[in-house]
Chains A and B, each alone.
Chain A
């Protein structure tokens, strides 16, 4: 077995150095004679460096982007036959065993005035492999920089004396990382810690409160909104210019007000510590709204006292205010029941989380055209699901079902919404 040093060949054009642009091999690769090892670029051309022999790559002498002087070693191979490493270049066993190549190469490097491929490349073979479990050696500044960059120093090889990790080693590690990523699939070990703060934190607290305190029951029902959609279309077509465009929401709000007339226990605040349900006469409907920062729930106050147009206008105004961040504090509090809708993203069914300490939330799913059996034929109908959750401590499944069925009946025959009594 011998060691074969491949030096950067004279690539012509009378240049003294060339830039290493690509490695085709890495340490540990087995190569055949004429396997391309690397590509270097001069001012004019890219030249590939072939392997002169079969063997195993045991050392790479430069990083991509380094300018390498002609004649300096770039690759070391372990080969079957005798190598080309002469006696004088062979590390003397007695001296400097940690840095076997330091002496001869430094001399060489010093004679080249420009483009030395930096001591980093020369020092690389001196890096002592760190035994498993051993603490990496690094100065406090290097340790802090690594921590801030999310680098685990155990993954970094140290080029300094005794394997000490230097700032240059961190540089190399950072520039190498994306390169290996390009080469194929790599494991990612970085964990980024994101502080949960502000609105996000309040949402997190509210959600855990709701889910940990309230035993939810969720009920999903299909609603045929074909008639409602026709009504809505014609109302929008002939609407007065001072009136807002109607969405489904105001119809649902009015339907809920009607259903609550019959089942007031659904419009309530449950103070579980006091063991009291506060059943509200006023219907304050929270409208879950997605904003840039996260979920907010502006509240349409006294929906029972607002007509269809008024509900629509108020929803528009509040949603706008929430998104703009101009909603007043009192506009974001005090709901007694909540509607959640993801619009076009509404899906088939959801499991809404109750807006604690309320007892019911009505979720609107996406409207779509589905074939319905009318007794003789399948007919295309506009259908939408309602997914609604209830606090099962105070609302029985039966009452929940009756409530949703009432809303369904009102939406399917929208004229009933406008009939008093």
Chain B
């Protein structure tokens, strides 16, 4: 058995793990990273990146389809579009592999040793990696667990040919004619909307009373409206029961208790993700857990000295950018810098149509921790740029404390608002007051002006409404 030792060992090369390793390498720490799959983890291979590629292709296809149907105000007509979905997938796979090698290059540049294989803890300082060439033992002073998460499977809808996970949905060789989506969270809706635009007949089954239930109703209403326009049926308060005997339909019980049979070529199950806490020897090191997740403190330290955990395996929100920030912080802590988790917000985005952004506290969350709040909402109907894009659905909403006007949260829904998340996040991290946002010149004509106007509105003197 071969044996190497290093100062820092990262298990899992997803966005948390590889960022941690790169930063550690930059800081001169002798670092190794183990990955059983491809570099980049869920995010790069079967998550954020490929789904955004499919979503973009679907958008392009759908706008040409609208032109063909002359359903546009611009006077454009076009011939009916056709789709070579294999080519779409090839393009998507090309992006993924470019990014795979990009990560490999960055790790190499940072002098990080990459060990391909499956890692299993022997004890808190020793990991055995099953590689193609045999078992490799790695001894490390510090270990970072970044094993990520995986789609949750329902016992009555086991993944297979018909029932698929989000990972499978990104690798279908053709657009399913009929797609049933179980779970109306952001992953199900992003993919459901994309396939609807590509021509699928989509039905979304959600057990809770409304879609995107983790966001407030006001924020998600424009999305619910668009589902109807796209011909997507959203069954809320409904329970998926299983596949029909023939396997060509999803059995659903609606909120009134009536049974439905929804014909489906594919059933996409997106009911959440679970932390990957099995198969790598967690039982050998017996860490304190926080529910299904590994318990960490504000420096991502686990209950065992010298063992850190970052990313999805440590809890919600399971987002790549949270993992990256944790990874960077842990590398700096290992290098002896004084760091602790002191972020004010972790932005969340749904790449639905329209897009939804939430940064910081929603009005309801803010109310629960602050005696008085101010809310300013600016609709895109009053925004010139939104008009010129022929998409006026949505708004930007600012939540602030009433006493000192410090911005607590910003939410937006609308076409392309995902890019505004950076401005929202910066405002909250900087401790901006409404006056700071209102006093910053926002370039005209942009949708971002809505942020300034929302702040002005909260202050009681919006200009354009």
Q: Which residues of A contact B (CB under 8 A)?
A: 98, 128, 137-140, 143-144, 147-148, 150, 160-164, 193, 195
Q: Are B429 and A128 in contact (CB under 8 A)?
A: no
With A139-B430, A161-B435, A164-B431 as given contacts, are A148 and B337 in contact (CB-CB < 8 Å)? yes
A161 to B404, CA, bound (A): 8
- Within the complex, which residue of A128, A144, A148, A195 is in contact with B404, where a contact is CB–CB below 8 Å? A128
Q: Which residue of A lies closest to B405 (CB)?
A: A162
- Residues on B with C-beta less than 8 A from A140 are 342, 429-430
26 CB contacts below 8 A, A to B, read A128-B404, A137-B406, A137-B431, A138-B431, A139-B430, A140-B342, A140-B429, A140-B430, A143-B342, A144-B339, A147-B338, A147-B339, A147-B340, A147-B342, A150-B338, A161-B404, A161-B433, A161-B436, A162-B404, A162-B406, A162-B431, A162-B433, A163-B404, A164-B431, A193-B338, A195-B336
A98 to B436, CA, bound (A): 14
- Residues on B with C-beta less than 8 A from A162 are 404-406, 431, 433
With A161-B433, A162-B431 as given contacts, are A148 and B406 in contact (CB-CB < 8 Å)? no
A137 to B433, CA, bound (A): 10
Q: Which residues of B contact A (CB under 8 A)?
A: 336-340, 342, 404-406, 429-431, 433, 435-436
A283 to B433, CA, bound (A): 77
Q: Give, as a whole number of angstroms, the nearest-CB distance from A242 to chain B.
A: 47
A138, A161, A163, A195: most-surrounded residue (chain B CB, <10 A): A161
- Residues on A with C-beta less than 8 A from B430 are 139-140
With A137-B431, A138-B431, A140-B429 as given contacts, are A98 and B404 in contact (CB-CB < 8 Å)? yes
Q: Give, as a whole number of angstroms, the nearest-CB distance from A64 to chain B.
A: 28
Q: Give, as a whole number of angstroms, the nearest-CB distance from A159 to chain B.
A: 13
A144 to B340, CA, bound (A): 9
- Residues on B with C-beta less than 8 A from A147 are 338-340, 342
- Within the complex, which residue of A139, A163, A193 is in contact with B429, where a contact is CB–CB below 8 Å? A139
Q: Give, as a whole number of angstroms, the nearest-CB distance from A145 to chain B.
A: 10
- Residues on B with C-beta less than 8 A from A164 are 431
- Residues on B with C-beta less than 8 A from A128 are 404
Q: Give, as a whole number of angstroms, the nearest-CB distance from B208 to chain A.
A: 32
Q: Give, as a whole number of angstroms, the nearest-CB distance from B431 to chain A.
A: 4
Q: Give, as a whole number of angstroms, the nearest-CB distance from B366 to chain A.
A: 14
A163 to B336, CA, bound (A): 31
Q: Are A139 and B338 in contact (CB under 8 A)?
A: no
- Residues on A with C-beta less than 8 A from B431 are 137-139, 160, 162, 164
- Residues on A with C-beta less than 8 A from B336 are 195
A267 to B10, CA, bound (A): 45
A193 to B340, CA, bound (A): 14
Q: Which residue of A lies closest to B406 (CB)?
A: A162
Q: Give, as a whole number of angstroms, the nearest-CB distance from A192 to chain B.
A: 10
Q: Give, as a whole number of angstroms, the nearest-CB distance from A153 to chain B.
A: 9
- Residues on B with C-beta less than 8 A from A139 are 429-431
- Residues on A with C-beta less than 8 A from B338 are 147-148, 150, 193
Q: Which residue of B lies closest to A137 (CB)?
A: B431
Q: Which residue of B lies closest to A98 (CB)?
A: B404
- Residues on A with C-beta less than 8 A from B405 are 162
Q: Would you list the 3 A-B pairs with minimal beta carbon distance, nearest first?
A: A137-B431, A162-B404, A139-B430
Q: Give, as a whole number of angstroms, the nearest-CB distance from A100 to chain B.
A: 15
- Residues on B with C-beta less than 8 A from A144 are 339
- Residues on A with C-beta less than 8 A from B339 are 144, 147
Q: Which residue of B lies closest to A139 (CB)?
A: B430
Q: Give, as a whole number of angstroms, the nearest-CB distance from B276 to chain A.
A: 30
Q: Which residue of A lies closest to B435 (CB)?
A: A161
Q: Give, as a whole number of angstroms, the nearest-CB distance from A127 to chain B.
A: 12
A150 to B431, CA, bound (A): 21
A160 to B436, CA, bound (A): 12
Q: Which residue of A lies closest to B332 (CB)?
A: A144
Q: Give, as a whole number of angstroms, the nearest-CB distance from A175 to chain B.
A: 21
Q: Give, as a whole number of angstroms, the nearest-CB distance from A241 to chain B.
A: 50
A163 to B433, CA, bound (A): 11
- Residues on A with C-beta less than 8 A from B340 are 147
A110 to B405, CA, bound (A): 28
Q: Which residue of A lies closest to B436 (CB)?
A: A161
A146 to B69, CA, bound (A): 60
Q: Which residue of A lies closest to B430 (CB)?
A: A139
A88 to B429, CA, bound (A): 37
A139, A143, A150, A162: most-surrounded residue (chain B CB, <10 A): A162
A180 to B191, CA, bound (A): 62
A138 to B429, CA, bound (A): 8
- Residues on B with C-beta less than 8 A from A195 are 336
Q: Give, as a whole number of angstroms, the nearest-CB distance from B193 to chain A.
A: 34
Q: Give, as a whole number of angstroms, the nearest-CB distance from A267 to chain B.
A: 34
A137 to B403, CA, bound (A): 14
A148 to B337, CA, bound (A): 8
A128 to B403, CA, bound (A): 11
- Residues on B with C-beta less than 8 A from A143 are 342
Q: Which residue of A lies closest to B429 (CB)?
A: A140
Q: Give, as a whole number of angstroms, the nearest-CB distance from A285 to chain B.
A: 33
A138 to B343, CA, bound (A): 11
- Residues on B with C-beta less than 8 A from A160 are 431
Q: Which residue of B lies closest to A160 (CB)?
A: B431
A140 to B404, CA, bound (A): 20
Q: Give, as a whole number of angstroms, the nearest-CB distance from A87 to chain B.
A: 27
Q: Give, as a whole number of angstroms, the nearest-CB distance from A218 to chain B.
A: 31
- Residues on B with C-beta less than 8 A from A193 are 338
Q: Give, as a whole number of angstroms, the nearest-CB distance from A357 to chain B.
A: 22
A140 to B340, CA, bound (A): 12
- Residues on A with C-beta less than 8 A from B433 are 161-162
Known: A147-B342, A195-B336; 15 extra A-B contacts, CB below 8 A, are A128-B404, A137-B406, A137-B431, A139-B431, A140-B429, A144-B339, A147-B338, A148-B337, A148-B338, A161-B404, A161-B433, A161-B436, A162-B404, A163-B404, A193-B338
Q: Which residue of B lies closest to A161 (CB)?
A: B433
A162 to B404, CA, bound (A): 5
Q: Give, as a whole number of angstroms, the nearest-CB distance from A135 to chain B.
A: 8
- Residues on A with C-beta less than 8 A from B342 are 140, 143, 147
A160 to B340, CA, bound (A): 24
Q: Give, as a whole number of angstroms, the nearest-CB distance from B254 to chain A.
A: 45
A164 to B405, CA, bound (A): 12
